[in-house]
Amino acid sequence: MKRKLKKIGRLATVCTLTAFVLWNCKEDPNSTGLELLPGSDLKTVGLAVDSTSIEAYTEPDEILRTDEPNFNVFGTFNDPVFGKTTGHLATQVRLPGYPGFDETTQVDSLVLYLLYKEIYGDTTTLQSLKVYELVEDVFLDTTDATGTGDYAYYQDVDLKALASPTVIGELDFYPTFRMDSTETDTLIQELAIKLDQSLAERLVQADSLDMVDNDTFVNFFKGLYIESQDVGDGGGLLSLYTLAGGSNLTLHYTTVTDTLVTDSLSFAYRINTNSARISSFTHDYSTTVFADQLEEHPLTPDSLIYLQTMGGLRTRVDIPSLDSWKDSSNFIINKASIVFQADTVASDYHNYQVPSALVLRAVDGEKTEEDDGYLYLPSDFGVSSALYGGRFNSEDATYTFNITHHLQDIIDGDVTNDGFYLSTLFRNERARRVVLKGSTSHVGIRLEVTYTKLN
Q: What are phi and psi of 329, to 5 degrees?
A: -70, -15
Distances (CA, A) of 189 to 186, 241, 246: 9, 10, 11
Residues 115, 51, single domain; the answer is: no
Distance CA(359)–CA(373), nearest Å, equals 15
| pLDDT value of residue 368 | 52
Distances (CA, A) of 217 to 98, 137, 198, 199, 304: 11, 12, 18, 14, 51
Residues 247, 377, single domain; the answer is: no
| pLDDT value of residue 29 | 41
Distance CA(214)–CA(225), nearest Å, equals 19
Does the pLDDT value for residue 28 go beyond 50? Answer: no
Does the pLDDT value for residue 83 go beyond 90? Answer: yes
List, for residues 398-434, the tens digit of each pLDDT value: 999 999 999 999 998 999 999 999 999 999 999 999 9
Q: Is residue 383 helix, strand or coil? A: helix
Distance CA(186)–CA(411), nearest Å, equals 49
Does the pLDDT value for residue 364 go beyond 80? Answer: yes
Question: Can you tell me the mean pLDDT for 134-141?
Answer: 93
Calculate ∠ Cα 267-269-274, nearest 5°.
Answer: 150
Pair 314, 62: CB distance under 8 Å: yes
Question: Can you tell me the mean pLDDT for 185-198?
Answer: 93
Does the pLDDT value for residue 272 go beyond 70? Answer: yes
Pair 290, 298: CB distance under 8 Å: no
Residues 239, 334, single domain; the answer is: no
Tell me 342's DSSP state: B
In the chain, the number of structural domains is 2
Residues 210, 345, single domain; the answer is: no
Question: Is position 290 within any domain?
Answer: no
Residues 360, 244, single domain; the answer is: no
Taking all residues of the chain, what is their mean pLDDT, rounded to a whole number? 86
Please give the helix or strand (H or E) that residue 344 lies within, else none.
helix 344-347
Q: Is residue 34 helix, strand or coil? A: helix
Question: Is position 85 within any domain?
Answer: yes
Q: For residue 107, what are the domain limits? A: 71-275
Higher pLDDT, 184 or 377: 377
Going by DSSP bridges, is the β-strand pair 331-341/398-402 parallel, antiparallel, or unpaired?
Answer: antiparallel
Does the pLDDT value for residue 98 go beyond 80? Answer: yes
Q: What are phi and psi of 397, to 5 degrees?
A: 55, 50
What's the pTM value of the predicted model, to 2 decimals?
A: 0.86
Percent of the chain with pLDDT over 70: 84
Residues 185, 264, single domain; the answer is: yes
Closest-CA residue to 277 (of 396, 134, 181): 134
Closest-CA residue to 314 (of 293, 300, 333): 293
Distance CA(262)–CA(251), nearest Å, equals 15
Query: Mind giving me the DSSP string for 418-429?
Result: --EEEEESSTTT
Does the pLDDT value for residue 451 go beyond 50? Answer: yes
* β strands within 122-222, DSSP E: 127-134, 163-173, 189-194
Residues 236, 320, single domain; the answer is: no
Distance CA(245)–CA(272), nearest Å, equals 7
Closest-CA residue to 74 (of 14, 9, 130, 148): 130
Residues 316, 441, single domain; the answer is: yes
The 10 Å Cβ neighbour count of residue 317 is: 23
Question: Is position 286 within any domain?
Answer: no
Question: Is position 2 within any domain?
Answer: no
Residues 253, 173, single domain; the answer is: yes
Tell me 108's DSSP state: E
Residues 252, 188, single domain; the answer is: yes
